[in-house]
Structure 1
């Protein structure tokens, strides 16, 4: 064996040993994005890994047991009705927010899944909207609405409380003062039957004050009322209202009292939540006249904390509907009160009793009383 062969063999052996040692070395791990807490928008937000978007994931489970209307007979306690019923409902909340050079960019969704007595089930996209700076687009609470109650609301109230598709702009003037103008889907606001196709969105405007003492709002809306009957005339309905909520720290840390007044002409849902047979606009074939229905309502409520874990909500409302051509005029008042116990944060046990009375002006239509109660267990997280 010559010197060249010895040198080649030694080089091969060294290469083999080096390769084996390299194979034994640990592989560098891939970078890991850890979840970080985001405190820019309050509690429970975290950064979506790899982004500057903060996300809050929340939910609610609600379990209700109802004692359905046991007021005037016939009522739900007759042989054909369900005197008691149950509901299980689940909520999913998603709230994504990002601060940008244009302002806040936010996407918010509320999904509701429900199972009622007898197997009836449903899914509702309660809210789904995008905020870009001062703009809001999507399904959200109407920019007209203000006070929507402290009690659970098994018995319906007499005020405006509607989700709608909105395209809104809000201008903030400082010191808690803001103004909003909004285009909203008018089909969510129709009351009655026999309408023609939808043409124009509702125009809503509001001025809001939100300060340490409480909040107040003045609101107005325009709504097209248009029947399918070609002989009828289109009417421009409207609604106006004002409300105030005052904080009462001397009574309790979360105590408030609220007052609200609303009026509507040709747009009943801007003043009333419960409509017994009336509708926005009516056509009289005999006289070939088209007239609007009018309504007004007064409402208010009180929220009181008895202790750190015990609280009550009270709602009172009165509404009056003046329909054309007689026959469907009525007045309605309602009152609901509850007692809520929160033994630990996010867990609530509550009981409520509600009463409503409808007084019809037409002869032959009997007034009716509605009396109902409920028990609720709710966990919010």
Structure 2
């Protein structure tokens, strides 16, 4: 399901028992595995940065175009790249207030998560004006480093013991909301949000985007994404050796207002002579040019939702040994409109914009079953 658990996180925490069932925890935690990359549209690019030839293949999630020069009509005529790889500069700070009673427990927690980028790599030979209308030449074609932003998340959880049904039975309910910290709502955990558009659900009709933020190419500022999730489950013991769980969750990922249109403003831009990038076309994985058919139908940076539901049956013949089966249904789709079904055919912008027939969908379904044997020591 959607969920914010990240296993094996390095942390330093202190918990105080306050009495009457209350406790409080403060924690500093390694942010590495709670990051979803800042959105980058470039797939493979060979560029000359200044006087140094740089091969930038395999950097799909790091080099982020930033517009440095525009013409009188406001169209891009020069750009650089922001190094989008985040560094471990500040731990995540997490605070928890918990209440435990014989009937169950309740918890409220919050987290702060830094988003940072590297320097801007500028190109030479720009003419025209920058995004503020100031004259732009090869000597002043640069921009300030992207300012860090601070994502945050809040979460509430409730466990209600149900011994009146069977010993050990319990209901669980959890809800989380985040800005710039999608891993805390867990919507990308199922199919892997450590990549911008993971493909871990093989055969799916389109890939979701998971990014904590995008960079506005005209302002070089981070725009945070938002997400939320709600999860419910019920654990039931048929006997001391046999138990089952049923569970379901729903979540949504939404990108910043205008973020998609801003990314599309330079899609397919071919650098002019003097930018030292030859005729390379950037944004091969981008959103397309606003107003075109490809922009309306491709799945990049689309707001999406996720729905998961499942059940299992577990047999524990001895302590710490679980043998069982589990079935899961997953559906994810776009919050509005339609997207290209790329399960069997990878459409190009030129093909789609030419008016050729395409197959589109609003959501994709996945069914999974597994047999599990687990021994804990």
Could you say whether these structures have the same fold, taking a TM-score greater than 0.5 normalized by the shorter chain as the test? yes
Match of 1:217 in 2: 107
Number of residue equivalences: 225
- Match status 1:308 vs 2:240: yes
User: Is the 8 Å Cα contact of residues 161 and 273 (structure 1) preserved in structure 2?
Assistant: no
Deviation for aligned residue 1:343: 3.4
Matched, 1:241 2:181: no
Check conservation: 1:206, 1:220, Cα contact below 8 A.
Answer: yes
Aligned to 2:330: 356
Q: CA RMSD in A?
A: 1.8
* Residue pair 2:187, 2:306 contacting (<8 A) in 1 also: no
Bigger drift between 171-180 and 338-347 goes to 338-347
1:372 aligned partner? 368
Please give the alpha-carbon distance, in whole angstroms, between the structure 1 residues aligned to 2:307 and 2:171.
Answer: 19
Structure 2 unpaired stretches of 5+ = 38-60, 62-83, 121-144, 194-207, 261-300, 341-360
> Which residue in the other structure is 1:127 paired with?
none
| Paired residues for 1:90-109 under 5 Å | none
Instruction: Write the distance in 2 (CA, Å) between the matches of 1:165 and 1:345.
Output: 28
Match of 2:87 in 1: 197
Q: Are the structure 2 counterparts of residues 196 and 308 from structure 1 closer, same or farther at C-alpha, using a change threshold of 3 Å? A: closer
| Deviation, structure 1 residue 287 | 4.9
Moved over 6 A (4+): none
1:186, distance to aligned residue in structure 2 (A)? 1.5
Displacement of 1:233: 2.5
**Which structure would you say has the larger Rg?**
1
Offset at 1:173? 0.9
CA distance in structure 2 between the partners assigned to 1:349 and 1:288 by the alignment: 52
How far is 1:322 from its partner? Answer: 0.5
> 1:295 is matched with which residue: 205, 227, 235?
227
Change (3 A) 1:229 1:297: farther
Alpha-carbon distance in structure 2 between the residues aligned to 1:368 and 1:197 = 35
Q: CA, structure 1 residues 190+165, in 2 after alignment: closer, same or farther (shift >3 Å)?
A: same
Q: What is the CA–CA distance in structure 1 between the aligned matches of 2:10 and 2:217, rounded to whole Å?
A: 34
Task: Report the equivalent of 1:159.
Answer: 3
Give the Å deviation of 1:291.
Answer: 0.2
| Pair 1:190–1:347, CA change in 2 (3 A) | closer
Quote the Cα distance in structure 1 between the aligned partners of 2:187 and 2:224.
Answer: 17
Give the secondary structure class of the aligned counterpart of 1:269: helix
The runs of 5 or more residues in structure 1 that have no matched partner are 1-156
Matched, 1:180 2:94: no
Note closer, same or farther for the CA distance 1:323–1:305 as it changes in structure 2 (3 Å cut): same
Conservation of the 8 A alpha-carbon contact between 1:299 and 1:318: yes
Moved more, 229-238 or 257-266: 229-238
Q: Quick check: 1:278–1:328 contact (8 Å CA) kept in 2?
A: no
Q: Distance in 1 between matches of 2:316 and 2:91?
A: 42
2:230 aligned counterpart, secondary structure:
strand
Normalized per residue, the structure richer in strand is 1
Tell whether the 8 Å contact from 1:162 to 1:188 is kept in structure 2 after alignment: yes
State the match for 1:284 in structure 2. Answer: 216
State the match for 1:100 in structure 2. Answer: none
